[in-house]
Amino acid sequence: MSYLDLTIREIHEAYIAKKVTPSQLVFEAIRRAKANCDNAFEYIAEVEAIDEANKLGECETENFLWGIPFVAKDNFSTKDIPTTASSNILNGFIPLFDATVIQKLKNKKAILIGKTTLDELAMGGTGTTGHLGTTFNPFDPTHKRMIGGSSCGSAASVSAGIVPLALGSDTGDSVRKPAAYSGLVGMKPTWGRISRFGVFPFAPSLDHVGFFTRSIEDTALVLEALAGRDEQDSTSSFYEVVPYHALLQKPATGLKVAIISEINNSKHCPDIIKAFDELVNRLGSQGMAIDRVHMRKDLLEAIFPIYITIASAEATSNDANLDGVKFGPSYWGKTYNDAMNLARTNGFSELIKRRFIIGSFALMQENQEKLFLRAQKGRRLLVEELHKILGSYDLILTPA
């Protein structure tokens, strides 16, 4: 087993014991990335990563991210490194600055070894719509099972043992689903807890920066490093960053857990429900108080249409600048509209075009109140319903 198959804490302990060096680990990570057959990478930062690893001095014993190789989903801005969001329309785009989270990890002396694939512009949940084609699940060498998306390459790179940490983004379920499909811990924090500055927006009112690790402890350590107020992101939270890893030492006895009955009674996935019920029984035996609660069925059934309406409308607005003039390959046309139509027709996949059609339809003057504004009101009702439950419980537990 390679050190790359370990957790961040275990790698850190190996560094302290001088069992391995960052240069050795980075070389191995790059070798594995090049050999990867899951189509997980947009760009491998071989020269940059080796250079950074060679610059590191003595191990910083209190810095758990020192020398840790990581990857970033290719919708995170990376200075002087191509960033495409897995879309043809952004081929050749090279940012002039790093996203805040990239800079935070660099400040901790973690080492970026590459950019990973995603569903185009982070819209999608299958890992099949990026311009390089399908990203596969490392658990299935036959390539018959999907890894999910949109943060498909990030999940695959951790699951395949290339890196112990990968950045992703989550708007619908783009971190949580790939994590569930590949046996990882996928973190989607509270909105605003981690700065989104430098992350290509999909739907800003729903977008979150998230990440993948191999353990809950690693997740807590990384969250401590990434969370916090960022003046470059006005939506980032002012709440103090607490020592999340220390909270893991608190006993779970007495925690009040809610299970929403309407979510957990599906007959379509008996194996998942069986595994979930076994987990619930295990948690109960550890002293947690577990109750089954109810939630309005009409609200639960409205979740997807609410999401797709809001997300598509916001994406349509956000991506209006991808026109072949400001970004992307240019096309000749007699007028600006002709050139823009050609650029967008050739630059986007069918999925993206469908999302833009839905978003444009929802934003039409005659439709805004009955579609877009109604979806926003529905979201508020969902939030209020969940707040009612969390007013009496510490957490809500659901299958991923």
Contact 92, 82 (CB under 8 A): yes
Please say if 182 is a catalytic residue: no
Rounded to whole angstroms, how far apart are CA atoms 330 and 350?
19
Name the token pair of 17: 């014991």
Q: Which two tokens stand for residue 23?
A: 């240069």
Amino acid residing at 44: I
Cα–Cα distance for residue pair 232/120, rounded to 1 Å: 26
Give the torsion sign (CA, 388, 262, 274, 174): negative
Give alpha helix (H) positions in the chain.
Answer: 8-16, 22-35, 46-55, 100-107, 152-159, 176-182, 216-226, 244-247, 270-285, 297-318, 336-347, 350-363, 374-390
The C-alpha atoms of residue 115 and residue 183 are separated, in whole angstroms, by 21
CA dist., res. 346 & res. 12, Å (int): 46
86, 87, 150, 159: the active-site residue? 150
Active site residue 174: yes
212 token code pair:
């993948």
Q: Is 392 a catalytic residue?
A: no
Q: Are 343 and 323 in contact (CB under 8 A)?
A: yes
Active-site option among 87, 174, 182, 349: 174
How far, in Å, are 147, 280, 393 from residue 398 at the CA level? 20, 10, 14
**Are the beta carbons of 164 and 69 closer than 8 angstroms?**
yes
Active site residues: 73, 150, 174
